[in-house]
Amino acid sequence: MSGPRFQRLAIIGIGLMGSSLARAVKRAGLARTVVAADHNPAHCDQARALGLVDDMVADPRQAAKDADLVMICTPVSTYAEIGERMAPALKPGAIVSDIGSVKQAVIRDLGPILPEGVHLVPGHPVAGTEKSGPEAGFAELFDGRWCILTPPPGTDPAATDATRALWEGVGMTVEIMDPGHHDMVLAITSHLPHLIAYTIVGTATNLEESLKGEVIKYSAGGFRDFTRIAASDPIMWRDVFLNNREAVLEMLQRFNEDLTALQRAIRWGEGQVLEDLFRRTRDIRRGIIDAKQA
Amino acid sequence: MSGPRFQRLAIIGIGLMGSSLARAVKRAGLARTVVAADHNPAHCDQARALGLVDDMVADPRQAAKDADLVMICTPVSTYAEIGERMAPALKPGAIVSDIGSVKQAVIRDLGPILPEGVHLVPGHPVAGTEKSGPEAGFAELFDGRWCILTPPPGTDPAATDATRALWEGVGMTVEIMDPGHHDMVLAITSHLPHLIAYTIVGTATNLEESLKGEVIKYSAGGFRDFTRIAASDPIMWRDVFLNNREAVLEMLQRFNEDLTALQRAIRWGEGQVLEDLFRRTRDIRRGIIDAKQA
């Protein structure tokens, strides 16, 4: 292939994920032109100062015009409005994709809005940090991580292939998955861990004043790892929970049952129950280290 | 002061913590002789091969003989037996201390056993990793972290000062605290986070086979941080929960109430409740970063 894979890539939202993608696409020379839209003027200024994209605009419609591929990198609750706004400007054959942590809701919100001849290929690069904003991004964010694509039935394979090429081009390994299955897998590997981290950090903030200062001081005993996760973007995570309600509630129910069993074991001094679980959980860690995802 | 602070330091248990202490004491030249005891022959062999101590023995009584300071670095459930075994060999004026994550239970178990003239100064260096064994230790483990000492009422201040000097000598900042208060603070900053991490990793291991492999594959979304915590030593943590039952159950109850409130907010789509919490928890993270404990 001569020249870049994409003529014009539009990134909607230039926060942690969008700015990391812009950097990684530049690094790999994957697009002739990269344009981004963000409704936050401060984000626009930062992106311009950092030289992240060729053109930085406020209006998603302007960015999406003539784009081969539009990548939505904003919280999931904004998709419908962004889709409505972009729709008239999308050229026939354009691909609309996204990086959202839930996938059924994306198909629900964007599917009916996009014009005939525009391809919807929802995606989820499983990577991130607890930081936010254009300055927090970095080109290596995607290296060696997994990206899940959830094209709805009937999607043009060429559109899926093009989206796959983008993520592979920035260092990811791509898997195709049913959107409902994605939402269930991520409910346990990502959404529930975040919910629990937010909860325990919230519990600590509600403590009596005599304890609260000491929680920060002695956080090295395990708590600080939860605070890192619980520092993730509030709007993005609000939207995840609201848009993956059933799967999150299902996993939360299972977690609650297991926690109640442990609570009972502690109350009744059943050391063997605790020890057996604590040995089993060690094996999962080994699996993650072996899979090079540690 | 001329020469090292301690003539003979005995370390009982040469795992992650004991071996880290041995390394840090050598680095700082804090003791003329460091002797360690471990009932695990593999640990003894490794410690000898690594040259961690001057003398490596199986029997805690042998290690404790003539020691100025005996530091117990084994799971809390072993303290009573180790104390009984060492008691006849302890010299008058010797200090017995420990690194256990609970403190009231230590006073309960060791207080009545130690001979007249021997000082009990329980302690808790708030540092660690999820790894275990003599090879996992490193001298820098304690650098810049907090160590809490909980001497019972009436403890000789000179004994507390000597124990403080040891931990300050390996790079820690020492605080004196009431043992009951310690157990409550650590219940929220360390014990509950571990319990929750063990639970969620356990919930994942109970999943249908179709989901289980994918949990490892896509763990980068948050889950892997929990697996690291849930890889911590099973015996040590069993003992923590069994020996800090009341405080852990109290904090668990508060956590459960908060989690139920969030569950309800998700079920009823109350986005503002979620967003408000997620903003509050960000502030705690900033506090930890400002306190240089991140």
pLDDT in tens, A86-127: 999 999 999 999 999 999 999 999 999 999 999 999 999 999
Residue B174: both structure tokens together: 């020492």
User: A98 CB contacts (<8 Å, ≥6 apart)?
Assistant: A71, A72, A73, A79, A106, A110, A122, A123
Q: Give the CA-trace dihedral at B122, B127, B132, B138, to 10 degrees.
A: -110
Task: Give the single-character DSSP code of B90.
Answer: P
Please work out, in degrees rounded to the nearest 5, the angle formed at the alpha carbon of residue B192 by the alpha carbons of B186 and B198. 135
- Name the one residue in this structure whose structure tokens are 């959107």: A179
- The answer to whether B263 faces chain A, any CB pair under 8 Å, is yes
Please state, in angstroms and rounded to a whole number, the distance separating the CA atoms of residues A119 and A161: 12
- The answer to whether A136 faces chain B, any CB pair under 8 Å, is no
- The answer to whether B58 faces chain A, any CB pair under 8 Å, is no
pLDDT digits (tens, 9 = 90+) for B123-178: 999 998 889 999 999 999 999 999 999 999 999 999 999 999 999 999 999 999 99
Work out the angle between the directed axes of helices B245-267 and B192-205 (0-180°, nearest 10).
60
Please state, in angstroms and rounded to a whole number, the distance separating the CA atoms of residues B188 and B54: 38
Among B99, B132, B184, B189, which would you mutate to test the A interface (most chain A Cβ atoms within 10 Å of its Cβ)? B189
pLDDT digits (tens, 9 = 90+) for B66-122: 999 999 999 999 999 999 999 999 999 999 999 999 999 999 999 999 999 999 999
Say whether pLDDT at A2 is over 70: no
| Beta-sheet strands, E only, within A103-251 | 119-121, 123-125, 146-149, 173-176
This model of the complex carries an ipTM of: 0.91
Give which of B153, B147, B186, B185 is closest to B21, Cα–Cα: B147
- The answer to whether A292 faces chain B, any CB pair under 8 Å, is no
User: Which chain A residue has the Cα nearest residue B229?
Assistant: A222
Q: Residues of A numbered 184-213 whose beta carbons fall under 8 angstroms of chain B's beta carbons: which are they?
A: 184-186, 188-207, 211
Measured from the Cβ of residue A276, the count of other Cβ atoms closer than 10 Å reads 14
Tell me the one-letter amino acid at B145. R
Give which of A13, A286, A185, A24 is closest to B221, Cα–Cα: A185
Say whether pLDDT at B63 is over 70: yes
- The answer to whether B246 faces chain A, any CB pair under 8 Å, is no
- Name the one residue in this structure whose structure tokens are 């459930």: B77
The answer to whether residues A276 and A134 touch, using CB atoms and an 8 Å cutoff, is no
pLDDT digits (tens, 9 = 90+) for A214-272: 888 888 888 988 999 999 999 999 999 999 999 999 999 999 999 999 999 999 999 99
Task: Give the single-character DSSP code of B260.
Answer: H
The answer to whether residues A93 and A117 touch, using CB atoms and an 8 Å cutoff, is yes
The answer to whether residues B144 and B171 touch, using CB atoms and an 8 Å cutoff, is yes
Residue A194: both structure tokens together: 């975040």
- Name the one residue in this structure whose structure tokens are 């995607």: A142
Domains of chain B by start residue, with CATH: 6-177 (3.40.50.720), 181-290 (1.10.3660.10)
Distances (CA, A) of A259 to A1, A227, A252, B24, B225: 55, 20, 10, 38, 18
Q: What is the CA radius of gyration of chain B?
A: 21
Residue B222: both structure tokens together: 């948050």
